[in-house]
Amino acid sequence: MISADLMMATEPEKKVYFALVKIGEQFTFQSQMLGFPGAKGSTRADFTLPQLGLVLRVVGEYWHSFPETKARDQLQKIVMSTEGWLVIDLMESDIMRDVDFYVQEAILGKSYAREL
């Protein structure tokens, strides 16, 4: 059964979701973090892998290139890192090109994210 969250996911998020399923990783999709929904400073992580202390964020080059979005992304990354999470950003263009490679690399703690 496909969850409502997955039905509302972007194409890159769906690709990462199914890549994680394919390799058998345990994860939570659209995990609420940093407070309760709607609270100032709260956020949702695209994917959390608690057994690895890992957060995967899907970063669309268009939406995440705006100054206010970049500032929010950076702040969220700092706060999640402070709480002990390794935060890896997966670029939309990389996901669309070779999702399996970039997900495997992220699981190993490697990031190929570029500054927008």
Domain ranges of the chain: 8-107
* pLDDT tens, position by position, 6-52: 888 899 999 999 999 999 999 999 887 766 666 666 678 899 999 99
Q: Residue 89 phi/psi, 5° resolution?
A: -95, 130
Q: Check if the beta carbon of residue 90 is closer than 8 Å to that of residue 3.
A: no
DSSP state of 89: E
Taking the C-alpha atoms of residue 56 and residue 105, their distance in angstroms, rounded to an integer, is 11
Residue 4: partners with Cβ closer than 8 Å, 6 or more residues away: none
Separation between Cα atoms, residue 110 and residue 116, nearest integer Å = 18
State pLDDT tens for residues 59-95: 988 887 888 888 888 988 998 899 999 999 999 999 9
Specify whether domain 8-107 bears CATH 3.40.50.620.
no
